[in-house]
Chain A
């Protein structure tokens, strides 16, 4: 099993995710979180999320501009325990 990490979401939910759940976006969906997305492919930026602390790893190269402090959960996975605002 892939290594599990904790995700703190919007300062309230505490979830556990691991890479076998797919992208961070898919992992959030599996926890019934209402997520924002369009392309699910890293090129529209609709899934833009604030990374407050921790690290993520991109599984494919995103084409959307990633502003400082943002991540695109449709094409990355957690690489440590993370705190995000989505």
Chain B
């Protein structure tokens, strides 16, 4: 079934499943099968921000005063986040757009990916301020063993779905041999790959950022790296929306409110979904271990971070219909995290690190007020 950028076939988008139905032709949003995606688009667009608006110049002084182990923590987290957003800035588009079949979800995927590219650009903004040449940091991302290990797991499910979709679109269902390996391409198999992929993305958006968020905000608690923290708060707010979208997809399938075959697959692959999540949890704990290998930082250690991962994992697992895996981790071990994750605080209270666009706005309005005062109207 080859892909067409504008299928001439008539179909009723209100009757299409989210994926693997007729490909979307008219981008219309006056009617929606799953209106939640249209609402997420609106919300996400209302969150628009530009990295350059956040003044990170004072962070350089803080950074230079850090101990070596603190620098290791800070830079490693940025590398890991750069990896995550590099993947997320392209993969939902490449893997999901060719198979999506309702317009509101298609546009949500594009909107979502676009915001990931803003995140990627903000890491460059942060690093450029800290180093006259940040190349070494970026180059290490494809060399560093700890990061590579995670990258392999994150991209695996996407790559698998993309490859099978390509086989299906060029050769249709059937047994296809590529480089000596036989692939059995059926619609069922494609849907299974899609299910696993969305679970892996869900785990990524749900917990993979939180170890580094915690470190960033622990620095901010000590009034360090506040420009960076401001940016990470904006990113965290976006990530929450992304997460909600993958939770919606998974729950719609599970409740049989979309493709009935996906409901069967959700039941059939429930253990795999669980394991994908728990593997991500384990990897995040290992990441915490790696971060603190040369020593911890004030206010945070490996143990606390691992407890936090478990706490967050409980919330996230319950959101998609699993029991909380860490029953003894019911209270939040890092309560100060919450104030950085409240969405209203992000723009309403620019606080320590001012957003320069606000300043520009202020200056402009002062000038125009003064100017007007001189006029006799």
Residues of chain A touching chain B, judged by Cβ–Cβ distance below 8 Å, are: 34, 36-41, 43-46, 48, 61, 63-65, 67
Contacts and interface: CB of A to CB of B under 8 A. Distances in A.
B315 A48 contact: yes
A39 B342 contact: yes
B65 to A, nearest CB: 31
Contact of A40 (B40, B43, B247, B344): B344
B315 A65 contact: no
B356 interface: no
A43 B40 CA distance: 9
- The range of chain B's interface size is 20 to 34
B338 A38 contact: yes
B251 A65 contact: yes
Residue of B40, B247, B251, B319 with most partner-chain A CB within 10 A: B319
A43 B237 CA distance: 9
A70 to B, nearest CB: 9
Interface string B188-225: 00000000000000000000000000000000000000
B97 interface: no
A43 B319 contact: no
Given A38-B342, A63-B39, A45 B247 contact: yes
Contacts of B315: 36, 45-46, 48
**What 8 A-B pairs are tightest by C-beta distance, nearest first?**
A38-B341, A44-B240, A39-B343, A41-B343, A65-B251, A65-B248, A45-B319, A40-B342
Interface in B309-365: 315, 318-319, 321, 331-332, 338, 341-344
- In terms of DSSP, what is the predominant structure of the interface of chain B? helix
Interface in B243-282: 243-244, 247-248, 251
Interface of B: 36, 39-40, 43, 237, 240-241, 243-244, 247-248, 251, 315, 318-319, 321, 331-332, 338, 341-344
A36 B185 CA distance: 44
Contacts of A64: 244, 247, 319
A68 to B, nearest CB: 8
Given A43-B240, A48-B318, A63-B36, 5 more contacts: A38-B338, A38-B342, A39-B237, A43-B43, A64-B319
A45 B341 CA distance: 12
Contacts of B341: 38-39, 44, 46
A38 B241 CA distance: 12
A31 B315 CA distance: 22
Nearest to A38: B341
B297 to A, nearest CB: 23
Contacts of B248: 65
11 contacts: A34-B331, A38-B240, A39-B237, A43-B43, A44-B243, A44-B244, A46-B341, A48-B315, A63-B39, A64-B244, A67-B319
Contacts of B243: 44-45
B257 to A, nearest CB: 10
A39 B343 CA distance: 5
Contact of A48 (B237, B319, B331, B332): B319
B206 to A, nearest CB: 10
B241 A43 contact: yes
A65 B257 CA distance: 13
A84 B376 CA distance: 64
